[in-house]
């Protein structure tokens, strides 16, 4: 029986809704999501073994720390990816992150395509970068309307990896 799928789907759904509505994923959700995943794995009810789940969480943390350090993703996104990795193997964790990054880029392109104002800010930012001038990129590109709900993208990456498999 796939009892492990219920908290996985619920955690990813709640995280995506929170991220879409508030652009934040709460620490309470991430902590409880990780604890449920590890508990299921440790008791043998989960999708993977407990040590495999810990390995996947470590893999996800190691991969996501660099984009987090350069402020590409927020802390809630990082913690959600690590928590969701409790249901994956290390290889699946890697693949789900890659799929999530690609989906996040597509969501971002769709967001830009539906707005007229961001093109001017992005165009101005690109010219400033090409000319080599220092600029405050946070004021140019990182407005609340332009942030991508990465919890949605990473959640879809996790579910796609589990249900469709990885390519290798």
Encode pLDDT of 76-134 as tens digits.
999 999 999 999 999 999 999 999 999 988 888 787 766 666 666 666 556 555 554 44
- Token reading at 83: 């928590």
* Alpha carbon distance 72, 150 (integer Å): 10
Q: What is the mean pLDDT of the chain?
A: 83
- What's 136's DSSP letter? -
Angle, CA of 93, 99 and 102, to the nearest 5°: 145
Tokens of 87: 């249901």
Do 149 and 2 form a contact (C-beta atoms < 8 A)?
no
User: What does the alpha-carbon distance between residue 158 and residue 168 come to, in Å, rounded to a whole number?
Assistant: 16
User: Could you tell me which residue, 134 or 3, shows the higher pLDDT?
Assistant: 3
Q: Is 28:63 a contact under the CB 8 Å cutoff? A: no
Place of tokens 């590109």: 141
Q: Is the pLDDT of residue 20 over 70?
A: yes
pLDDT at 135: 47
Kindly report, residue by residue over 27-79, the tens digit of the pLDDT.
999 999 999 999 999 998 888 999 999 999 999 999 999 989 988 888 999 99
Q: How confident is the model at residue 166 (pLDDT cuts 50, 70, 90)?
A: low
How far is 79 from 85, CA to CA, in rounded Å? 10
For residue 164, the model assigns a pLDDT of 86
- What pTM did the predictor assign? 0.79
């Amino acid at each position: 029986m796939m009892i492990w799928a219920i908290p996985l789907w619920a955690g990813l759904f709640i995280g995506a809704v929170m991220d879409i509505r508030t652009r934040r994923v709460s620490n309470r959700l991430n902590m409880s999501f990780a604890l449920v995943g590890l508990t299921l794995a440790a008791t043998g009810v989960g999708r993977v073994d407990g040590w495999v789940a810990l390995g996947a969480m470590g893999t996800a943390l190691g991969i996501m720390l660099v984009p987090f350090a350069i402020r590409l993703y927020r802390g809630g996104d990082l913690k959600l990816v690590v928590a969701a990795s409790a249901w994956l193997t290390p290889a699946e964790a890697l693949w789900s992150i890659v799929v999530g990054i690609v989906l996040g880029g597509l969501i971002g392109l769709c967001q830009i395509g539906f707005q007229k104002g961001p093109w001017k800010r992005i165009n101005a930012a690109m010219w400033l970068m090409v000319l080599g001038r220092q600029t405050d990129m946070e004021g140019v590109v990182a407005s609340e309307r332009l942030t991508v709900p990465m919890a949605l993208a990473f959640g879809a990456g996790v579910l796609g990896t589990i249900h469709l498999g990885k390519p290798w």
